[in-house]
Amino acid sequence: MKILFVIHTPKNPFTAVYALHSKLQEYLNDKGHQNQILAPQDFKTLNRFPARLLPLVYPFCVAWWLKQHRNSYDLVMFHSYSGWVVNWLRSVIPVYKQLKTITSFHGLEPLYYNALKEEMQANGRSLTLRYSLVHGKLMMWLIRLSCRRSDLVLCLNSEEQAYMMKQKWVDESKIMIHTNGVPQQFFISRDHPPHARRLLFVGQWQEMKGTKYLIEAFKLLARDFDDLELSCVGTLTEDNKVLSSFPETLRSRIQNRSNVTHAELSDIYKNADIFILPTLSEGFSQALLEEMAAGTPIVTTPVGASQELLRNGVNAFIVSKRDSVALADSIRRLIENRELRQQMGREAQNTASQYELGKVHQRTLSILETTLQ
What three-state secondary structure class fits 74? coil
pLDDT at 98: 84
Alpha-carbon span 136 to 330, nearest angstrom:
35
Task: Please name which of 188, 92, 197, 185 lies closest in space to residue 145, comparing C-alpha atoms.
Answer: 92
pLDDT at 275: 98
Using the predicted structure, report yes or no on whether residue 71 has a pLDDT greater than 90: no
% of the chain residues with pLDDT over 70: 100
pTM of the shown model: 0.92
Average pLDDT over residues 208-229: 97
Using the predicted structure, report yes or no on whether residue 13 has a pLDDT greater than 90: no
Using the predicted structure, report yes or no on whether residue 100 has a pLDDT greater than 90: yes
DSSP 49-63: S-GGGHHHHHHHHHH
- In degrees and rounded to multiples of 5, residue 8 shows phi and psi of -110, 15
Using the predicted structure, report yes or no on whether residue 146 has a pLDDT greater than 90: yes
**pLDDT tens readout for residues 242-294:** 999 999 999 999 999 999 987 889 899 999 999 999 999 999 999 999 999 99
Computed over every residue of the chain, the mean pLDDT equals 94
pLDDT at 118: 95
**pLDDT tens readout for residues 291-345:** 999 999 999 999 999 999 999 999 999 999 999 999 999 999 999 999 999 999 9
Question: Would the CATH topology of 2-181+357-372 be identical to that of 184-355?
Answer: yes
**pLDDT tens readout for residues 163-207:** 999 999 999 999 999 999 999 999 999 889 999 999 999 999 999
Confidence of residue 16 (pLDDT cuts 50, 70, 90): confident
Domain edges within the chain: 2-181+357-372, 184-355
Q: What is the CATH number of domain 184-355?
A: 3.40.50.2000
**pLDDT tens readout for residues 116-131:** 999 999 999 999 999 9
What is the identity of the amino acid at 276? I
% of the chain residues with pLDDT over 90: 91
pLDDT at 335: 97
pLDDT at 97: 86
Q: 2-181+357-372: what fold? A: Rossmann fold (3.40.50)
Average pLDDT over residues 197-221: 97
Q: For residue 73, how many C-alpha atoms fall within 13 Å in the half-sphere facing its CB?
A: 25
Reported as type and span, the H/E element at residue 298 is strand 298-300
Using the predicted structure, report yes or no on whether residue 38 has a pLDDT greater than 90: yes
Task: Please name which of 319, 284, 282 lies closest in space to residue 112, comparing C-alpha atoms.
Answer: 282
Query: What is the chain's percent helix, strand, coil content, to nearest 5?
Result: 55, 15, 30
pLDDT at 15: 83
